[in-house]
């Protein structure tokens, strides 16, 4: 359903004019267009027409040895592959990483509007990768699954920590939402029903979309899987004697993100560290959240319990769901309770 997109794993001015994109980097992945904000030319396997995996028609009545028709009629099962959603890559800014893939079903937005079809809710997905790696394509199967539930899904890249220091990553997430809303009619979506979903490092960006400034006016809700909501906590955990290689890696990633060694004796650095903490922006105008973790994973539930408590303290609904195990980020989807919980929460937030 979803490839791993975990932690390991407003300057731009988007323009909506279309240009074709170069060939995809690998089979089945959308290509990277020029920074003009237009869709890539269709042609990837994601846009192929459906084909039947098996076809057949009932056989005629079989003749028994006596020559009478056999009462048993055999058939071969007919399997029909559902039509995949349309997938187009857009540029929401000038940097090569400022790209998002749009997944949507049904006819063209213009035709849908002409036929009186109600605008659909939208979901923005932000991948993980410790702010150092990762790609929007890792969530394509999850995106396809949500489109079957009536959502238009956008999976976005953003500038990595090696390319730009914090808060560039949050700026990109905000720009992606603004681009989606500005062009809502293109996909026949409701700009007032946009929800953010983030995984691990991308979970922090999703949480920031819901807390930074007037979060509730930006997104209808935030759903995060293993979000690194408190980067300083990850920095501290990575220094412990029993820290796993993954936690030590994440500690170094925090330094790369803020471009300094977190320390209260360095006011400028500490200001960036605090700004990267989602709970530092909590207010009564924030978006409701569902935050998910496993009990013994790379990013423990403590990254979200403090944020959720702060949100509830100002009257914003916030829930932390913890499942047993060591699963991280998209691996949480292997727990049978997680996807139904996600879908139920999405429907409640976007109705």
**Cβ 286 vs Cβ 315: under 8 Å:** no
CA atoms within 13 A on the CB side of 285: 7
Q: How far apart are CA 251 and CA 231, in angstroms?
A: 8
Is 64 inside any structural domain? no
Containing structural domain, residue 128: 89-350
Query: Between the CA of residue 44 and those of 16, 23, 47, 49, 89, what are the distances in Å?
Result: 21, 9, 6, 11, 11
Residue for token pair 């220091």 = 165
pLDDT band for position 39 (cuts 50, 70, 90): low
pLDDT of residue 170: 98
Rounded Cα gap, residues 351 and 338, in angstroms: 20
Per-residue confidence (pLDDT) for residue 83, from 0 to 100: 75
Question: Residue 14 pLDDT more than 90?
Answer: no
Q: Would 26 be classed as within a structural domain? A: no
| Euclidean distance between the first and the last CA atom of the chain, given in angstroms as a whole number | 24
**Does residue 75 or residue 104 have the better pLDDT?**
104
The total number of structural domains that make up the chain: 1
Classify residue 239: in a domain, yes or no.
Answer: yes
Query: Is 17 part of a structural domain of the chain?
Result: no
pTM over 0.85: no
pLDDT digits (tens, 9 = 90+) for 229-288: 999 999 999 999 999 999 999 999 999 999 999 988 899 999 999 999 999 999 999 999
Mean pLDDT of the 113-123 span: 80
Whether 14 is in a domain gets the answer no
Question: Which of 218, 198, 214, 219 has the alpha carbon at shortest distance from 304?
Answer: 198
Q: Is residue 3 part of a domain?
A: no
Q: Which one, of 85, 94, 215, 191, lies nearest residue 139 by Cα?
A: 85
CB-based contacts of 311-317 (< 8 A; 24+ apart in sequence): 311/211, 311/282, 311/286, 313/282, 314/282, 314/283, 314/284, 314/286, 315/284, 316/216, 316/282, 316/284, 316/286, 316/287, 316/288, 316/289, 317/288, 317/289
- CATH number of the domain at 299, please: 3.40.50.1820
206 neighbors 127 (Cβ within 8 angstroms): no
Using a pLDDT cut of 70, give the percent of the chain over it: 74
pLDDT bracket for residue 294 (50, 70, 90): very high
Q: What pLDDT, on a 0 to 100 scale, did the predictor assign at position 61? A: 40
pLDDT digits (tens, 9 = 90+) for 17-33: 343 444 333 333 333 33
For residue 30, tell me if it sits in a domain: no
Helix axes 302-313, 201-211, angle to 10 degrees: 10
Helices (DSSP H) in 139-200: which residue ranges? 140-147, 168-182, 184-187
At 202 the pLDDT is 98
- Number of CB atoms found within 10 A of residue 143's CB: 26
CA distance 298 to 211: 23
What's the mean per-residue pLDDT of the chain? 83
- Confirm whether 115 is domain-assigned: yes
């Amino acid at each position: 359903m979803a490839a791993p997109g975990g932690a390991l794993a407003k300057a731009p001015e988007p323009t909506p004019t279309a240009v074709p994109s170069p060939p995809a980097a690998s089979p089945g992945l959308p290509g990277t267009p020029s920074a003009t904000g237009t869709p890539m030319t269709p042609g990837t396997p994601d846009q192929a027409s459906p084909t039947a995996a098996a076809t057949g028609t009932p056989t005629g009545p079989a003749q028994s040895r006596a020559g009478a028709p056999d009462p048993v009629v055999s058939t071969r099962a007919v399997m029909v592959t559902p039509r995949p959603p349309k997938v187009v890559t857009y540029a929401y800014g000038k940097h090569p990483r400022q790209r998002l893939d749009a997944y949507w079903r049904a006819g063209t937005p213009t035709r849908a509007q002409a036929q009186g079809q109600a605008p659909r809710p939208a979901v923005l997905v932000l991948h993980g990768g410790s702010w150092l790696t990762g790609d929007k394509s890792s969530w394509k199967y999850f995106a396809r699954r949500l489109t079957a539930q009536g959502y238009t899904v956008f999976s976005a890249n953003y500038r990595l920590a090696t390319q730009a220091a914090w808060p560039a990553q949050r700026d990109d997430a905000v720009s992606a939402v603004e681009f989606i809303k500005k062009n809502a009619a293109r996909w026949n979506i409701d700009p007032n029903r946009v929800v953010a979903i983030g995984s691990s490092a991308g979970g922090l960006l999703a949480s920031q979309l819901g807390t930074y400034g007037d979060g509730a006016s930006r997104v209808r809700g935030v759903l995060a899987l293993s979000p690194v909501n408190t980067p300083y906590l990850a920095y501290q955990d990575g220094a412990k004697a029993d820290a796993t290689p993954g936690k030590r890696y994440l500690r170094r990633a925090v330094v790369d993100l803020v471009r300094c060694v977190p320390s209260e004796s360095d006011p400028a650095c500490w200001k960036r560290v605090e700004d990267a903490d989602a709970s530092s922006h909590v207010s009564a105008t924030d978006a409701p959240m569902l935050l998910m973790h496993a009990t013994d994973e790379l990013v423990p539930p403590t990254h979200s319990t403090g944020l959720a408590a702060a949100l509830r303290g100002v009257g914003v609904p916030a829930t932390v769901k913890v499942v047993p195990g060591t699963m991280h980020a998209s691996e949480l989807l292997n727990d049978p309770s997680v996807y139904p919980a996600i879908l139920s929460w999405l429907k409640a937030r976007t109705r």
